[in-house]
């Protein structure tokens, strides 16, 4: 299970050009990494918070994804990136995450690739499993660690608190 904050840039349908007012926005996912019955890797989303209402509505309708409209901001502070999110209809649900960034990773490990190179998503509509191919360039990766984590998104997604300490991101790659 992962809690993944990031900035979307140039998001669009492959046949359309990106539009600045809808193609750039912050997003935070609660997700896990899965394989389908044919062994293909994909992402399963428990929740996706995004700052663009149009993107939220479209993704819910077209892909049956559990998107939520949120007030969000991303700030760069020296060698850190701060992600802040609060859901509009549930303001007690959100996150405040500060990620300290380090050096670029020139040769990603197999685990780094496992966490970041996902080219398919799965969702459920009724009894049907839906899938969509995800297209993006491989992300530049950097060493990073979380210096602040205050969030209620994981529990709101129905995931119980872990019995052990979560895997520390400080030991693994993170996107820039």
pLDDT in tens, the chain (176 residues): 888 888 776 555 667 665 666 666 789 999 998 888 898 889 999 999 999 898 889 889 988 999 999 999 999 988 899 999 999 999 899 999 999 989 999 998 888 887 777 778 999 999 998 888 876 777 788 888 889 999 999 999 999 877 776 655 444 444 43
Helix (H) or strand (E) holding 156: helix 153-156
Q: Which of 150, 146, 24 is nearest to 85 (CA)?
A: 150
User: Which token pair is 174?
Assistant: 């993170």
Q: What is the pLDDT of residue 78?
A: 87
Neighbours of 93 (CB within 10 A): 20
- In this prediction, residue 171 carries a pLDDT of 40
Q: Report domain extents, the chain.
A: 2-175
| Residue carrying structure tokens 């901001």 | 73
pLDDT in the model for residue 139: 77
> What is the C-alpha separation between 170 and 96, in angstroms, rounded?
17
Can you tell me which residue has the tokens 């970041």? 116
46: left (phi over 0), alpha (psi -120 to 50) or beta: alpha
């Amino acid at each position: 299970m992962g809690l993944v904050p990031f900035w979307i840039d140039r998001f669009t349908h492959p046949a359309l050009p990106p539009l600045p007012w809808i193609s750039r926005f912050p997003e935070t996912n609660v997700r896990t990494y899965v394989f389908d019955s044919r062994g293909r890797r994909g992402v399963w989303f428990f929740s996706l918070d995004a700052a663009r209402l149009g993107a939220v509505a479209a993704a819910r309708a077209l892909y049956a994804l559990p998107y939520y409209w949120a007030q969000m901001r991303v700030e760069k502070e020296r060698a850190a990136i701060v992600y802040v999110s609060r859901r509009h209809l549930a303001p007690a649900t959100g996150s405040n995450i500060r990620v300290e960034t380090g050096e670029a990773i020139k040769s990603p490990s197999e685990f780094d690739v496992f966490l970041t190179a996902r080219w398919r998503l799965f969702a459920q509509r009724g009894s049907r499993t839906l899938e969509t191919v995800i297209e993006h360039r491989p992300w530049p990766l950097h060493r990073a660690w979380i210096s602040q984590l205050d969030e209620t998104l994981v529990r709101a997604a129905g995931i119980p608190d872990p019995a052990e300490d979560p895997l520390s991101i400080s030991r693994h790659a993170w996107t820039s």
